[in-house]
Structure 1
Amino acid sequence: MSTSVYKSVIIGTGPAGLTAAIYLARANLEPLIIEGPEPGGQLTTTTEVENFPGFPDGIMGPELMDNMRKQAERFGAEFQTGWVNKIDFSNRPFRISIEGREDIVAETIIVSTGASAKYLGIEGERENVGRGVSTCATCDGFFFRNKKIIVVGGGDSAMEEANFLTRFASEVVVVNRRSELRASKIMQDRARQNPKISWGLNKTPLEVLTNDRGVTGLKVKNNSTNEEEVIETDGIFIAIGHTPNTKFLDNQLQTDEQGYLLVNPGTTETNIPGVFACGDVQDHRYRQAISAAGTGCMAALDCERFLEAAESEHLQTAVR
């Protein structure tokens, strides 16, 4: 089986991977971008994006991703769809195995596979993402001015999102299946002191209810009485965490305890020289399209400088 060799391969799209592709392509490095069957990252499940600079009237998430892809293609980036099964990081250049395709060899790799929001797995949830169901308060809170919102979760992220959403909503109801919260005391105290936040504890979500206009309520089970009830709402924010998409790396790159890739501070460099990480796969704090795009730019520049240094070292060795 023949093998293709690339100076740089980007695994994953979204704002981080596509920004890295634009920069590398403009540097004439002809990068290959490997995208999964559902390319574009979390923005493809978002309706209108109003906080990405340069779009005063907003832009639809899928359109923004499509524009980024076209921009990368214009400068010579190549795209290939498939699942990465395995990467051999033991020697450089690195060997990438893609399901159903020939292996690829890359002098450098940029990992931008993102993080997937955890869902409840209840009826009416996934099909209503963007129609009243959201996993990002910072992204979508603005659309719920003076409306009643439910936040599902009991950890720090849920408390943080609930507090943030009170800037817009008339009321925020925190629903948690346990009677106690997992959040730190300081985060709990902030939420409990917020007059706009009310509580639906010890209640298990069962179903997202909708009509032709969007979300109307959340059906829950009272765990004390086993009785079902409906909490009326205009929007439901799922805040039970994210899972970084790093399993395919087989623990070859260093991660934190949650599985997010670790990079050298101020860079996108991983523990393996020539391998870089950008976007939500290494960012559990901000998780914004613009911050992901910024780290994509950083990864491309880090990658370009690494290749220049490697080429210079090779030439010096050849001269000797």
Structure 2
Amino acid sequence: MYDVIIVGAGPAGLTAGIYASRGGLKTAIVELAMPGGQAASTENIENYPGFPNGINGYELMNLFHKQAITFGVEFIFEEVQKLDLKEQIKKIHTNSQVLEARAIIITAGSKPRLLGVPGEDTFRGGGVSYCATCDGAFFKGKTVVVVGGGDAALEEGAYLTKFAEEVIIVHRRTGFRASQIAMNRAKGNPKIRFELNAVVEEIMGSNHVEGVRIQDVISGVQREIHADGVFIYVGTDPNGQFINEEIETDDRGYILTDHRLQTNIQGVYAAGDIRNTPLRQVATAVGDGALAAVEVEKYLSECDN
């Protein structure tokens, strides 16, 4: 029996664990993979306060993880399969056991959205990637396509120029969702060129990626571009496969919360990228995690009185 179980060990979950455990609550974090979430696979985080020269995402998340352990957070590395939230004592079903807690904070984060074109599944791990930090070094001296127009696409595209000879950014519009600094860096990089008003229709190849077929969204004309790899950054989807119908979500599956990060179920909170939020950054996830843990403390204190 725990006071609080946190589902997910990204920046929101790790922060919630630090605050909850430091506040005297018996705390566990359940995580399928390594701590850190998507932040751990980011090459350089420049906008997290306290690091004027930026910091490697894995290094930052490793510090979060160590701090959580210092305050006594227990880590359980298993997959959450379903939640049972009907009673006051909540149950978390993993692949090997049933955990019980008086409160739950869901911080499962989000995952890269699939492009959904022919060849994506075929070449995943064979030239199709969603993580430049993980796979960029495999494309030394080669040509890669980056799909997307947000910060992730432009920042990871710039990172890929450390290895690739040419980076081609394909975006469906002429305007970008990315920050001005990310756009300036990408546009000023001689290794980057843009294919705008274009969408990828197919990823082609035999045993590995050999190119993409793109279509001009205005003229409808299609043509092929040579590429040795494709990196996809077209948004994210929530890691909510274990969330049942009891928890209210928006039409995309992100959890709805009030201003105190409580869901529609008493004693169940959500924080970070898994919830319906206008900004998904390490800084906002940290703030969410802190607030959710403090609200859990208040909730449990009220239950005890």
Instruction: Write out per-residue CA displacement over residues 223-254 of structure 1, whole angstroms, 9 at most, x where no aligned residue.
Output: 6777532379xx97734231101120122200
Using the TM superposition, give the Cα deviation of residue 8 of structure 1 relative to its aligned residue in structure 2, in angstroms. 0.5
| Partner residue in 2 for 1:21 | 17
1:65 and 1:116 map into 2 onto residues whose CA distance is 17
In the aligned structure 2, how far is the partner of 1:49 from the partner of 1:295? Answer: 18
Question: Which residue in the other structure is 1:178 paired with?
Answer: none
| Inter-partner Cα distance in structure 2 for 1:100 and 1:154 | 44
Query: 1:158-196 CA distances to partner (integer Å, 9 max, x unpaired)?
Result: 842397743332279xxxxxxxxxxxxxxxxxxxxxxx9
- Across the aligned residues of Structure 1 and Structure 2, the Cα RMSD in angstroms comes to 3.5
For residue 240 of structure 2, the aligned residue among 228, 241, 246 is: 246
Shift of 1:54: 1.1
Change (3 A) 1:119 1:153: farther
Change (3 A) 1:308 1:218: farther
Aligned residues: 271
Aligned pairs for 1:216-227 (under 5 A) are: 219-222=211-214
Deviation at 1:273, TM superposition (A): 0.5
Q: 1:256·1:262 contact (CA, 8 Å) conserved in 2?
A: yes
- Trace 1:254-273 onto structure 2 (pairs within 5 A): 254-264=248-258, 266-273=259-266
Distance 1:90 1:155 in 2: 46
Give the 3 Å change call, closer, same or farther, for CA 252–149 of structure 1 in structure 2.
farther
In structure 1, runs of 5+ residues without a counterpart are 173-195, 209-216, 313-320
Distance 1:205 1:128, change over 3 A: farther
8 Å CA contact 2:7, 2:30 repeated in 1: yes
Residue equivalent to 1:167: 184
* Residue pairs, 1:289-308, within 5 angstroms: 289-308=282-301
AA matched with 2:273: D
Distance 1:203 1:70, change over 3 A: closer
Q: 2:50 is matched with which residue: 51, 54, 66?
A: 54
Distance 1:308 1:79 in 2: 24
The question of whether the paired residues in 2 share the 8 Å contact of 1:137 and 1:237 is answered with: no
| TM-score normalized by the length of structure 1 | 0.73
| Aligned twin of 1:95 | 91
Give the Cα–Cα distance (whole angstroms) in 1 for the partners of residues 150 and 63 of structure 2: 25
CA distance in 1, matches of 2:94, 2:99: 8
The one of 178, 198, 202 aligned to 1:201:
198
TM, length-normalised to structure 2: 0.76
2:109 aligns to what?
114
The alignment-based identity, stated in percent, is 31
Task: Supply the distance in 2 between the matched residues of 1:106 and 1:155 (Cα, whole angstroms).
Answer: 47
2:151 corresponds to which of 126, 138, 155: 138
Q: Structure 2, unaligned stretches of length 5 or more?
A: 137-143
| Larger CA Rg, structure 1 vs 2 | 1
Letter in 2 for 1:308: S
